[in-house]
Amino acid sequence: MVELFLSPSCTSCRKARAWLASHKVDFHEHNILTTPISQSDLLAILTKTENGTEDIISVRSKIFQKLNVDVETMTIKELIELIRKNPGLLKRPIILGEKAMQIGFNEDDIRVFLPRDYRRVELNSSKEAI
Positions marked catalytic: 10
- Would you call 69 helix, strand, or coil by DSSP? coil
The Cα-based distances of 91 to 3, 56, 64, 110, 126 in angstroms read 15, 5, 11, 16, 33
Q: For strand 101-103 and strand 2-6, is the pairing parallel, antiparallel, or unpaired?
A: unpaired
DSSP code at position 110? G
Helices and strands, counts by H and E, the chain: 6, 4
